Amino acid sequence: MVRKEFPENFKWGVSQSGFQFEMGDPYRRYIDVNTDWWHWVRDPKNITSKLVSGDLPEEGINYIEFYRHDHEYAKNLGMNIYRLGIEWSRIFPYPTTFIETDVSYDGNGLVQDVKIDKETLAKLDKIANRDAVAMYRAIIQDLRSRGFKVIVNLFHFTLPFWLHDPIKARETNLNNDRRGLVEESFPIEFAKYAAYIAWKIGDLVDMWSTMNEPMVPVELGLIGPYTGFPPGVMRPDVVPRAMANIALAHALAYEQIKRFDTAKADADSSSPAEVGIIHNIIPAYPADTAGNDRAVEHYNYFHNTYILDAITKGQVDLELDEKTIVKANVLGNKLDWLGVNYYTRIVVREQKGRFPGRPVLDFDGVAGYGYACVPFGFSKIGRPCDGMGWEMYPEGLLDALKIGYKYASKIYVTEHGVSDARDILRSKSIVNHLYILHEAIESGIPVRGYLHWALTDNYEWPHGFRQRFGLYEVDLLTKERRPRKSVSLMQEIISGNSLRDNHLSALISFNKHSSENI
């Protein structure tokens, strides 16, 4: 029998966020009205222009009431790692800005330290939503009681409304006073939030992620007004500030988590606080064999490596011009592990002058490949595409992991999945991507685990409930969870810690070279 065996201690699990999963109880006891996305998805202008679906998160899958059931489903699949998202706006529904801390800056005007002590934490505790803290502790304790290692992620697109008013930001073209990632105060307030959470739940958690896919709200919110992501503006001039803020916020949070999580929760942890970041690395390929290599270089620089270079090497490109690169005192050596999210690739071509004054942004995606395909159609090389119009391109996972390996010696695939309500493509996608993942491990890339997106259907941002990523289908009226057929496949793979010959019959014909992929 042919087998592709995974390492003995390989982790299997699922990932989820807060906003996309938590709400949905019939009495509206667990709604979160204090997040930017709550206001964004119900804005009449967004709905009438069809930037958002009109679906509302309070009609969601109700994880807060059903989490014990969901955890049991994951346990029955054989899973042993579970990634959660904590909602900043639940913990601090009101501003933390008036709680003063000593903040110092380096010679480039970049924040280098936020001095938080026990007195600061006590002040934060007075304004925090302690019920929310207790809720998250109960959820994590339930996971731990079932033998799961828990990853806690602190930021997954959503921001407190007191920090980001997306409607005013859109209407004023960012000439308002609550601009989210662009605000100078963002890294400072994020550091306070991270310190507080580490202090309150550090005894239960050893594995932390500061952020999930932090480039997405930059790319889609600040230079992709057609995507349905807040604040929906075209402001390439503020992109360098947002990217620098993200790097600084990660580094400050890294330090605060290390400072206040001093209790080791898991026997297999190397320290009480292993702090990483989760990044959607998207391998880029040129639209043809000549003339677009520079576009690939610029896309990789902008999307894939800028943040990782900043937090590991300490360098920030202040103008995003490949010239104004400075060393920031707080940055560098701030990555214990890396989460790689992978769904598909991007094929790019050069488009000079696309954003005047920002020559690095001289690329554009090509339709018919990667994320730019027809839902449930086929890409230009004949690959099936899911409900989002995302091309099945497993080969790209190896390239994504190769990029990640340049920055981290401990890697997890923290998201992979397909939108597929009828469960036609999911099993094939899982097998093919795990096959490539196994190839990556055999080549020496230290991938420690695979977390699927997602255990259940969820609220897929501007698409609402129209995209279904769950291994379990959720009836939005009754909240009943029903297993899709791919559940049995996942159970087989996890129980054997391997791909067997009957699984390998689902393999597609892989392309070996980028020139064959277009």
415 is an active site residue: yes
Dihedrals φ, ψ of 114, to 5°? -125, 115
The alpha carbon of 81 is separated from its chain's Cα centroid by a whole number of angstroms, namely 16
Q: How far is residue 179's CA from residue 260's CA, in Å, rounded to a whole number?
A: 29
CA distances in angstroms from 169 to 19, 87, 148, 179, 239, listed in the order given: 21, 21, 40, 6, 15
Among candidate residues 309, 315, 232, the one with its CA nearest the CA of residue 37: 232
Given the residues 58, 87, 415, 460, select the one marked as catalytic: 415
**Beta bridge partner(s), residue 378:** 384
In contact, 8 and 510? CB cutoff 8 Å: no
Q: Is 443 exposed, middle or buried (0-12, 13-18, 19+ CB in 10 A)?
A: exposed
Within 8 A by CB and 6+ apart from 12, the residues are 77, 78, 79, 80, 81, 449, 450, 451, 493, 494
Rg (CA), the chain: 22
In contact, 298 and 239? CB cutoff 8 Å: no
Strand 315-317 versus strand 325-327 pairing type:
antiparallel
Given the residues 22, 183, 189, 213, select the one marked as catalytic: 213
Helices (H), 55-185: 63-76, 88-91, 118-127, 130-145, 166-171
Q: Using H for helix, E for strand and C for coil, what is the string for 249-279? A: HHHHHHHHHHHHCCCCCCCCCCCCCEEEEEE
395 is an active site residue: no
Dihedrals φ, ψ of 278, to 5°? -110, 125
Helix (H) or strand (E) holding 495: helix 486-496
What end-to-end distance do the CA atoms of the chain give, in Å? Answer: 35
In terms of phi and psi (left: phi > 0; alpha: psi -120 to 50; beta: otherwise), the region of 13 is beta
Catalytic residues: 213, 415
